[in-house]
Structure 1
Amino acid sequence: MEKLANNSIKDLKKSIQLYLTLLLLLLTSGQSLAQDTSFEDGKDYILGGLTVTGLQSYNEQTVKTFTGLRVGQPITVPGDEISAVIKKLWGLELFSNVEIFYTNIEGNKIFLELNILERPTLSNVTVFGVKKRKVEDILDDTDLKKGKKITESLIANTKNYLQNKYKKQGYLNAKVSIATAADTTGTNTQSMVINVKKGDKVKIRNIVFDGNEQLSDKRLQKSLKKTKKKKFYRFWKKSKYIEENYKEDLSNLVDTYAERGYRDARVLSDTFVKVDESSIDLKIKVEEGNKYYFGDINFVGNSVYTDRQLSQVLGLRKGQTYNGVLLKKRIADDSKPDGEDLTNLYQNNGYLFSSINPVEVSAVNDTINFEIRIIEGKETFLDHVTVTGNDKTNDHVIFRELRTRPGQKYSKDNIVRSIRELGQLGFFDAEQIVPDIQNPDPNAGTVDIQYSLVEAGSSQIELQGGFGGGGFIGTLGLSFSNFSLKNIFNGEAYKPVPMGDGQTFALRLQASRTFRVYSLNFAEPWLGGKKPVRFNLSLSRTQQFATSFSNRGRIDVNKDRGFSITGVSAGLAKRVQWPDDFFTISHSLSYQLYDFNDFNNGLFNFGNGSSNSLSYTFGISRSSQGPSRIFPMTGSNFELTGKFTPPYSLFGNKDFKEVRNQINEKTERLIEIGGPNTGTVEEQAEFVRLSDEVEKLEEERFKLLEFYKIKFKGDWYTRLVDKLVLRTNAEFGFLGSYNNDIGAVPFERFFVGGDGLGNFTLDGRDVVQLRGYENSSLTPFSRNAITGQQERDGGTIYNKFSLELRYPLTLKPSASIYALSFLEAGNAFNNFNEYNPFELKRSAGVGLRIFMPAFGLLGIDFGYGFDSDANPSSVGPSGWQTHFIIGQQF
Structure 2
Amino acid sequence: MFFNRMHKFIRLSLFVILTSLSTLNALAPQFEEMRVGRIEIQISGKPDDSKEQLATTIRNRLKTKQGESFSQAAFDADLKMLVQDYDRIEPLVEIHEGKIEIKLNIWPNPTIQRIRWEGNERMRTSKLKSELGIAEGSVYDRQKFNEAFHNLKAFYVKKGFFEAELDYSVAHDDNTNSVVINICIREGRAGKIKDIVFSNFTEEEQKCILQMMVTKRYNFFLSWLMGTGIYNDDMILHDKFQILNYIQNQGYADAKVDLEVFEAKQDDRIVISVTVDRGKRYYFDDITIEGNTIYSDEELMRCIPIRKGAPYSPEKLIDSVQVITNYYGRNGYIDAFANYIPKLDDNGCSYKITMHVEEGDQYRVGLIKVIGNHCTQTKVILHETLLVPGEVFNLEKLKITERRLCNIGYFNNVNVYAVKSTEDSVLPGCYRDVHIEVEEGSTGNLGASVGFSTAEDIFASISVTECNFNIKGLQCFSENGLCGLRGGGEFAHLALSLGAKSSKYALSWTKPYFMDTPWSVGFDIDRSMKCYVSDDYSIKSVGLALHGTYECNAFMRVGAHYRIRYSYNDIDLNCNCPVDENGHKDHEDCNVPTLQSIKETEAADGMISALGYTWQYNTTNHPICPTQGLRSTAQFEVVGLGGDAHFFSFAYLNCWYYNLWNKLIFKARGDFRFIQPMSGQRIERIPLEERFFLGGDNLVRGYHAYRLGPVFDEKNTQTDQAVPDYDDPKGGISMQLFSFELSKPILGCGDAFVFFDSGALSSRKWSFGRFYSSYGLGARLQVFGNGSPPLMVGYGWPLNPKNDSQVKQFFITVGGKF
Task: Give the TM-score category using the shorter length.
Answer: 0.5 to 0.7
Q: What secondary structure does 2:298 align onto?
A: helix
Partner of 1:386: 370
Hey, what does 1:503 align to over in structure 2? 490
Aligned-residue offset at 1:453:
3.8
Tell me which amino acid in the other structure corresponds to 2:342.
E
Matching of residues 137-176 of structure 1 within 5 Å:
170-176=160-166
Cα distance in 2 for partners of 1:482, 1:134 equals: 47
Structure 1 position 880, deviation (Å): 1.9
Report how far residue 176 of structure 1 moved: 1.0
* Cα contact 2:671–2:737 (8 A) shared by 1: yes
Equivalent-residue separation in structure 2 for 1:638 and 1:491 (angstroms): 41
- Specify which of 575, 587, 602 is matched with residue 551 of structure 2: 575
Aligned counterpart, 1:845 = 778
1:731-774 residue CA offsets vs partner (Å, 9 max, x unmatched): 41231659999898964543222356xxxxxxxxxxxx455433
Aligned to 2:636: 643
Distance change (3 Å), C-alpha of 1:311 and 1:541: same
Match among 825, 832, 842 for residue 757 of structure 2: 825
Partner of 1:864: 795
Contact 2:386 2:397 in 1 (8 A): yes
| TM-aligned CA deviation for residue 573 of structure 1 | 1.5
Check whether the contact 1:825–1:840 (CA below 8 A) recurs between aligned residues: yes
What is the one-letter code of the residue matched to 2:170? T
Report the 3-state secondary structure (helix = DSSP H, G, I; strand = E; otherwise coil) of the residue aligned with 1:322.
Answer: coil
Extract unaligned runs of 5+ from structure 1: 15-47, 60-91, 98-115, 333-340, 558-562, 649-698, 757-768, 811-816
Matched, 1:452 2:439: yes
Instruction: Tell me: CA distance 1:367–1:321, structure 2 relative to 1, closer, same or farther (3 Å).
Output: same
8 Å contact 1:585–1:620 — kept in the other structure? yes
Alignment of structure 1 residues 431-470 onto 2, 5 Å: 433-436=412-415, 448-458=435-445
Match of 1:198, as an amino acid? E
The answer to whether the 8 A contact 1:262-1:291 is kept is yes
Task: Indicate how the Cα distance of structure 1 residues 603 and 729 shifts in structure 2: closer, same or farther if over 3 A, else same.
Answer: farther
2: CA distance, partners of 1:540 / 1:201 = 56
Aligned Cα root-mean-square deviation (Å): 6.9
* Separation in 1, partners of 2:785, 2:270: 46
- Distance in 2 separating the partners of 1:168 and 1:477: 36
Query: Which among 713, 730, 737 is matched to residue 792 of structure 1?
Result: 730
Cα distance in 2, alignment partners of residues 809 and 286 from structure 1: 25
- What's 1:298 paired with? 288
Residue 190 of structure 2: aligned partner: 201
Q: Which amino acid in 2 is paired with 1:735?
A: F
Query: Counterparts of 1:311 and 1:873 in 2: how far apart (Å)?
Result: 66
**Match of residue 584, structure 1, among 557, 566, 588:** 557
- State the alpha-carbon separation in 2 of the partners of residues 834 and 445 from structure 1: 62
> For the structure 1 residues 501 and 809, does the alpha-carbon distance in structure 2 shift closer, same or farther, using more than 3 Å as the test?
farther
- Alpha-carbon spacing, 1:146–1:576, altered in 2? closer, same or farther (3 Å): farther
Question: What does residue 618 of structure 1 align with?
Answer: 614
The equivalent residue for 2:80 is: none
Residues 269-323 of structure 1: CA distance to partner in whole angstroms, max 9, x if unpaired?
A: 7666678995667777754333333222222233454433332221332223334
What aligned pairs does 1:230-249 form with structure 2 within 5 A after superposition? 241-249=231-239
1:266 is displaced (CA, Å) by: 3.1
- CA distance in structure 2 between the partners assigned to 1:568 and 1:221 by the alignment: 53
Q: Give the equivalent residue in structure 2 for 1:523.
A: 510
What amino acid sits opposite 2:187 in the alignment?
Answer: K
| Alpha carbons 1:293, 1:319 under 8 Å: kept | yes
The verdict on how the C-alpha distance between 1:120 and 1:646 changes in structure 2, with shifts beyond 3 A counting, is closer
Work out the percentage of aligned pairs sharing the same amino acid: 16
**How far does residue 711 in structure 1 lie from its aligned partner after superposition?**
2.0
TM-score, with length taken from structure 1: 0.57
| Superposed displacement of residue 641, structure 1 | 1.8
Q: Is the 8 A contact 1:209 1:283 kept in 2?
A: yes
**Partners of 2:309 and 2:817 in 1: how far apart?**
51
Aligned residue for 1:248, secondary structure, equals helix
Q: Name the CA shift for 1:588/1:196 in 2 (closer, same or farther; >3 Å).
A: same
Amino acid across the alignment from 1:201: A
Partner of 1:310: 300
1:710 matches 2:651? yes
Tell me the residue number matched to 1:533: 519
Residue aligning to 2:470: 484
Deviation at 1:424, TM superposition (A): 5.6
The answer to whether the aligner puts 1:734 opposite 2:673 as a matched pair is: yes
The aligned residue for residue 696 of structure 2 is: 754
Matches within 5 A, 1:542-557: none
For the residues of structure 2 that align with 1:516 and 1:400, how far apart are their CA atoms? 37
SS in 2 for 1:255: helix
Residues 1:361 and 2:343 aligned together:
yes
Q: Tell me the TM-score normalized by structure 2.
A: 0.61
Give the 5 Å matches for 1:661-740. Answer: 705-714=646-655, 728=667, 730-735=669-674, 737=676
Deviations 1:481-511 (A, max 9, x none): 5443334343425539944423355678999
Q: Using the alignment, how far apart are the partners of 1:203 and 1:593 within structure 2?
A: 60
Contact 1:437 1:448 in 2 (8 A): yes
Secondary structure of 2:244's counterpart equals helix
For residues 353 and 146 of structure 1, the distance between their equivalents in structure 2, rounded to whole angstroms, comes to 64
Task: Specify the code of the residue in structure 1 equivalent to 2:669.
Answer: A
Measure how far apart 1:150 and its partner are: 8.4
Question: Are the structure 2 counterparts of residues 508 and 314 from structure 1 closer, same or farther at C-alpha, using a change threshold of 3 Å?
Answer: closer
Deviates more, 1:219-228 or 1:707-716: 219-228
Amino acid at match of 1:874: D
Instruction: Summarize the Cα distance change of 1:489–1:312 in structure 2 as closer, same or farther, 3 Å threshold.
Output: same
1:266 aligns with 256
> What is the alpha-carbon distance in structure 2 between the residues aligned to residue 206 and residue 565 of structure 1?
57
Q: Rg: which structure is higher?
A: 1
Q: Match of 1:254, SS?
A: helix
1:867/1:876 contact within 8 Å kept = no
CA deviation after TM superposition for structure 1 residue 358, in Å: 2.9
Inter-partner Cα distance in structure 2 for 1:828 and 1:325: 52
User: Relative to 1, partners in 2 of residues 1:844 and 1:596: Cα closer, same or farther, differing over 3 Å?
Assistant: closer
Give the 3 Å change call, closer, same or farther, for CA 608–298 of structure 1 in structure 2. closer
User: Structure 2 CA distance, aligned partners of 1:511 and 1:603?
Assistant: 29
Instruction: Give 1:801 shift.
Output: 2.8
Describe how 1:586-601 pairs up with structure 2 within 5 A: 586-589=559-562, 601=597
Residue 607 of structure 1 aligns to which amino acid in structure 2?
A
Q: Which amino acid aligns with 1:386?
A: V
CA drift of 1:403 comes to: 3.6
- CA separation of 1:191/1:508 partners in 2, compared to 1, >3 Å: closer, same or farther? closer
Equivalent position SS for 2:345: strand
Of 346, 351, 358, the match for 1:375: 358
Counterpart of 1:775 in structure 2 is 705
Instruction: Name the CA distance, whole Å, in 1 between partners of 2:197 and 2:796.
Output: 46
SS of 1:792's partner is coil
Structure 1 residues 172 and 778: alpha-carbon distance in aligned structure 2, compared to 1, 3 A threshold:
same
User: What SS does structure 1 have at the residue aligned with 2:673?
Assistant: strand
- Tell me if structure 2 keeps the 8 A contact 1:587–1:617: yes
Q: Is the 8 A contact 2:702 2:807 kept in 1?
A: no
Residues 812-836 of structure 1 show CA distances to partners (whole Å, capped at 9, x for unaligned) of: xxxxx98987746241332699749
